[in-house]
Structure 1
Amino acid sequence: MFKKPAQKYSGKICEVEIGTGEKAIKLGGEAVLPFYGFDGNTGNPPKVGMEISDVYPEDWIEPLKELYKDVSNDTVKWAKFVEEKYNPDFICLRLVSADPNGDDTSPEDCAKKVKEVVEAIKTPLVVAGTGNHEKDAKLFEKVAQAAEGHNVLLMSAVEDNYKTVAAAGVLAYNNKVVAESAVDINLAKQVNILINQLGIDNEKIVANIGCSAGGYGYEYVISTLDRVKLAALTQNDKTLQVPIITPISFETWKVKESVEPESSTPEWGNQEERGISMEVAAAAGVLTSGSDAVILRHPKSVETVRTFVKELLG
């Protein structure tokens, strides 16, 4: 009988644990390419998280707002609702209110909200910032302090603010940090190296190498994921041997295919189904190219992607 020879890999992705107690999760740990169980150890199964916001999600489509209409005005209730009803692997709290171009909520007030949420749930928490690097540095310093003891994942540290975010998040308050770069293997390496140089090892770092919706530079995301995983596993590049998280929902729910009302483009079909399809397609692509965790918004997307992962793992 023919026996396929197993591919040998020289590298392995580090394991990073987030959360505490029985619901804590581990990302990474794989020593082979995604889902290549026939070659060796596939590590921890990819994790699927759900996005919530610290303010009412005004810009979400109506069907999504309807799902959360009873809880979305109260972040703690929303987090508990998602935990109990959908049981995601983790919850991603996006601090939309902190955006300087929006409500510009103070880091202290945001930190208080994070503390309330993390103490109300058992599910691991990922906290996403505003994308404004100056504000995020101040924000994560306070959030990391408020979340001390809960092992949250702070998303994200970039080249402009990594010293503050990573030092406060990991060294001072013992949480974990996401190293974010913009769809380029060299940039991904650079941010990881900078954080390593602060004295933070790979077991406390998760990478976000960037994301996009299908059709919007998506092939760059996939090819970058492929290159990162190949370098980490086949070339034993230790600077890239960290798990990868991809915030799918941040991108797929803002493109026209997901948000254009049916009244404007009836030929495109049901708006909600379009959004789910974009989210699932983008998630499937990044998971099979090397992402260890994805952030989604729609419960049907979560259910579909979970089934997809389970089937591929056999």
Structure 2
Amino acid sequence: MKDQIHRVASKDGHNNVKIDNVEGMIKLFLHDIWTTVVDMKWRYKITLFASTFVMTWFVFGVVFYLIGLRNGDFDADQSSNHTACVMNVETLTGAYLFSLETQTTIGYGFRHISEECPLAILALVVQLVFTGLAEIFVTGAFLAKLARPKKRAETIKFSQSAVVCKRGGAWCLMVRVANMRNSLLIQCQLSGKLLSPYVTQEGEKTLIHQASLDFNLDCSDECPFLLMPLTFCHLLDDSSPLAGLTAANLPTREFELLVTLNGTMESTAATCQSRTSYVPQEILWGYEFKPVLFNTPGGKLAADFNFFDKVQMCDEPSTVQNNSEKLQLEEKYRQE
């Protein structure tokens, strides 16, 4: 039975690090209440959105009911010259409906406030100011979550496996990335972090040591846009944190490769980030990605995602042993 693979990040880029035993966690979250509300899950956010309206209607309904109770509006033996604070409100339900009408600005008709009750007027002003701010906050957080670039990042696809094969005579680690939308991502940069156990010269053991890996497009330094599925390469030279990696020792190595794509959305100019991770079991040595782009009869390129995660063995050209053999092959080719 294989040991469970421990990841810092899941394949879909979510954080797998659990934060525990933090003193005053609730206090810290309340200090940054905006981020807390924006990061809420949808079921909690919808509940908060609905309860903000319902609770403020009820709370101020109780306030208006208590004001009427203090003013004697509900007494059976009222004098003929008695003026109620809120007209036609005789129960808590009526006060709740008046609060609802006030906050939703659908009044005033049957129920309305009296000019002779300053306390009720003050409560009305406080309700409009307080609930206006609360609604702006909750509605803004609701819209901010809808417009977060995080949702755009979910339409960026990484290959399930990384491959290692030769490019330009050197071994390269390659990852395939694709944009699943027609809208472009520009100024894309792919970077990697190698996470592995490490022992310092002083003998200190660290569970996770981070080292940076540079990925380029087809071994170039250009900053591309994701118009089609692209393959990013990391050169396994002496300066690479993966120097010394071979097909033999790859299965025994202990590391996690966290790959991050940063891009700018062409439509909004907002930046988004998408992540994935690879462990040694997901890195295939001596393989390359199968072609994913094909010509169509209409003169367009088609990206067939049935081949996106497909790999094949690298085709290594035959090695010519000496110059004389090379010349013989060239001469034979000319004669043909």
Using the size of structure 1 for normalisation, the TM-score is: 0.22
Structure number with higher strand proportion: 2
Larger Rg: 2
